[in-house]
């Protein structure tokens, strides 16, 4: 019988280094192995190191499905007719549910839409703040996450402006703009990662330019070396200078840039290259302004744009972009 073995279990748990395993677990056991048969000793010796591989296998077998989706703010039936929220909210919820998103960065979410989606998608919870008062007023850049898969360790919202810590409009922007972020733990794999979700301004050029730099700085400051996902409606295409700020080290040598999930996907992109459709009135080629970016060794398995119509019409004026990733 093994008695009185005092092992630093916390150290053993945190370390995946086999050398440390032998020092922390194996060597202390040797003193008390006199009554163990050789077969028992050999089994323990060979099996326990294999446990270190289990988190890696869990991550590989359970990729995280990420979605970014501008659901378009809720209009009234009188002003928007068929495009009013009441006439399409079930379709938006169905789009998230059927495509099995584990975590979705949404844009243009008003409080009533947030409440409706939480009722229609009870397996999800959501975080975020209204951009106009830091509470419930104005649009949210909300993050919806699957409750049985992810737990929130920390979350906050900052504004894309010269004063990001308080409600404010930045530079030449037409609207207040925010980034909502959260630190998550995957309940299946044990992995910890950060998700940032945003909506850049559609008018102000200085606002988009400075927002790109601010976002990069904040991601580095908040997430450090943890895996990072960034989702959003960025209101620019891949040939713009703003995209280059976020993704090209030549344009941004002093900052740590992001990677477009589409460009590093293991399998080819699925679907077209249009994400803004204006409810079917604008489907020009290469009109992609919604993105999933990653950073810090995040692997991307699949990437696509979901262009289906439901009952003959698009659920929103944007199409959802999805990616299967391993943080």
Is residue 14 domain-shared with residue 78, that is, in the same domain?
no
Is residue 53 domain-shared with residue 86, that is, in the same domain?
no
* pLDDT value at residue 110: 98
d(CA 327, CA 315): 29
d(CA 224, CA 237): 27
Is residue 152 domain-shared with residue 257, that is, in the same domain?
yes
**Residue 237 predicted with pLDDT over 90:** yes
pLDDT in tens, 5-61: 444 444 444 444 444 544 444 445 445 455 445 555 555 555 555 555 555 566 677
Mean pLDDT score, 59-85: 88
Is residue 75 domain-shared with residue 40, that is, in the same domain?
no
Residue 3 lies in a domain: no
Q: Considering Cα of 284, then 196, then 94, then 265, what sign does the dihedral take?
A: positive
pLDDT in tens, 130-183: 999 999 999 999 999 999 999 999 999 999 999 999 999 999 999 999 999 999
d(CA 313, CA 214): 37
Is residue 225 domain-shared with residue 243, that is, in the same domain?
yes
Range of the domain at 36: 9-57
Q: In what order do the strands lie in the sheet with 178-186?
A: 150-159, 178-186, 192-199, 228-233, 290-295, 259-260
Residue 153 lies in a domain: yes
* pLDDT value at residue 7: 40
- How far are the Cα atoms of 12, 36, 49, 188, 286 from residue 2, in angstroms, in the given order? 18, 8, 19, 32, 66
Count of H-run helices and E-run strands, the chain: 11, 12
Q: How many domains does the chain have?
A: 2
d(CA 80, CA 50): 59
- Using 50, 70 and 90 to split pLDDT, how confident is the model at 63? very high
Q: What's 281's domain CATH number? A: 3.60.10.10
Is residue 53 domain-shared with residue 66, that is, in the same domain?
no
Is residue 232 domain-shared with residue 192, that is, in the same domain?
yes
């Amino acid at each position: 019988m093994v008695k009185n073995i005092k092992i630093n279990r916390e150290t053993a748990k945190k370390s995946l280094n086999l050398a440390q395993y032998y020092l922390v677990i194996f060597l202390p056991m040797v003193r008390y192995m006199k009554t163990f048969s050789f077969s028992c000793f050999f089994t323990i010796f060979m099996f326990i190191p294999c446990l270190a591989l289990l988190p890696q296998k869990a991550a590989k077998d359970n990729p995280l499905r990420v979605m970014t989706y501008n659901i378009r703010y809720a209009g009234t039936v009188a002003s928007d007719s068929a495009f009013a929220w009441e006439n399409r909210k079930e379709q938006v919820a169905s789009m998230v549910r059927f495509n099995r998103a584990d975590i979705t960065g949404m844009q243009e979410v008003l409080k009533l839409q947030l409440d409706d989606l939480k009722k229609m998608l009870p397996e999800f919870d959501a975080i975020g703040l209204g951009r106009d008062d830091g509470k419930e007023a104005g649009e949210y850049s909300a993050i919806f996450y699957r409750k049985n898969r992810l737990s929130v360790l920390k979350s906050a919202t900052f504004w894309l402006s010269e004063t990001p810590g308080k409600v404010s409009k930045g530079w030449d922007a037409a609207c207040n703009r925010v980034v909502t972020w959260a630190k998550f733990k995957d309940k299946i794999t044990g992995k910890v990662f950060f998700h940032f979700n945003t909506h850049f301004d559609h008018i102000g050029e200085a606002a988009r330019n400075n927002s790109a730099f601010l976002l990069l700085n904040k991601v580095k400051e908040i997430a450090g070396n943890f895996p990072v996902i960034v989702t959003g409606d960025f209101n620019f295409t891949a040939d713009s200078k703003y995209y280059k700020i976020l993704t090209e080290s030549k344009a941004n040598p002093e900052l740590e840039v992001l990677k477009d999930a589409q460009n590093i996907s293991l399998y080819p992109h699925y679907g077209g290259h249009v994400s803004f459709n204006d409810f079917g009135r604008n489907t020009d080629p290469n009109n992609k302004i919604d993105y999933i970016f990653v950073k810090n060794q995040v692997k991307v398995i699949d990437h696509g744009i979901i262009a289906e119509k439901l009952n003959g019409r698009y659920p929103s004026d944007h199409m959802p972009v999805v990616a299967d990733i391993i943080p």
